Structure 1
Amino acid sequence: MKLITPPKLLMVAAVVELATGFGLLLAPGVVSSVLLGIAGTEVTNLFARFFGIALIALGVACWPSPATVAALRSMQVYNGAIALYLAYIGVFVSSGLLLWPAVVFHGVMTVLLLRR
């Protein structure tokens, strides 16, 4: 089985983070509901938009340039940390329809990015 090369892997990660970032920016309540199973409030929507802007910045930093060491490390750290945090939320706080698929996606991305 052929592994995806780092530039292609970064592109996949960038697309997912850009989509999530724009979703959080434009419809934070919908993303909160589907991902975490919680209703968005003014406060949660405010912070979700901050997070959305950060995800857009991460996605832009990793696309479409070649796989730089900084981009690769940034995506490795982000995917590993967010997988652990989302799993924590799923076990101890709340869980939405897409939470566990998101945990799996970010965990797999972490492993694949580390295998570069």
Structure 2
Amino acid sequence: MLNQRNLYRIAAAIELITGVTLLLLPGFIVQMLFQAKAIGAEPYLAQLYGLALIGLGVACWSQPCPMSAQRGITIYNVVAAVFLFALIAKAISGGLMVLAAASLHLVLGALMIIDQLKQRSI
């Protein structure tokens, strides 16, 4: 069963892995997401984004995940899902990787919203 403890730990692990991957292989990730070669400042921006994801992952790793970190990662997942689905709709980005990432963010964001609503009602 996916409980609160596991939900935020799984999300933190995903963000940590993604962050490290962006830091080490920015061009590859840009290529996979946008089906375009990373040029100019794009690899550096991808690395900076990777660092931010590492920070988010670390903030959510502790048990229990602090409420402020829960809110932050929830907002990130919901907004990331909307952004990625918008890119797909505008045909700026495509492929299974983007669809999978958008769907994962959507599911995580929805589960986190449900969890936080439950916490408010307790």
Q: Specify the code of the residue in structure 1 equivalent to 2:58.
A: V
- C-alpha displacement at 1:64, in angstroms? 2.8
The answer for the alignment partner of 1:115 in structure 2 is 114
- C-alpha displacement at 1:35, in angstroms? 2.1
Over aligned residue pairs, what C-alpha RMSD do you find?
A: 1.2
The answer to whether structure 1 residue 83 and structure 2 residue 81 are counterparts is yes
Provide TM-score, normalisation by structure 1.
Answer: 0.92
Alpha-carbon contact 1:38-1:96 (below 8 Å) kept: no
Residues in 2 aligned to 1:71 and 1:20: alpha-carbon distance in whole angstroms: 18
Cα deviation, 1:12-36, whole Å, max 9, x if unaligned, reads 1011111111111110011111122
Provide TM-score, normalisation by structure 2.
Answer: 0.87
Alpha-carbon contact 2:33-2:93 (below 8 Å) kept: no
Runs of 4+ in 1 over 3 A off after TM superposition: none
The answer for the alignment partner of 2:31 in structure 1 is 33
Residues in 2 aligned to 1:30 and 1:97: alpha-carbon distance in whole angstroms: 15
Q: Who wins on radius of gyration, i.e. which is larger? A: 2
Residues in 1 aligned to 2:10 and 2:105: alpha-carbon distance in whole angstroms: 11
Runs of 5+ consecutive residues of structure 1 not aligned to the other structure? none
Pairs within 5 Å for 1:43-54? 43-54=41-52
Once the two structures are aligned, what percentage of the paired residues are identical? Answer: 33
Comparing 55-64 with 67-76, greater Cα deviation is found at 67-76
The answer to whether structure 1 residue 69 and structure 2 residue 67 are counterparts is yes
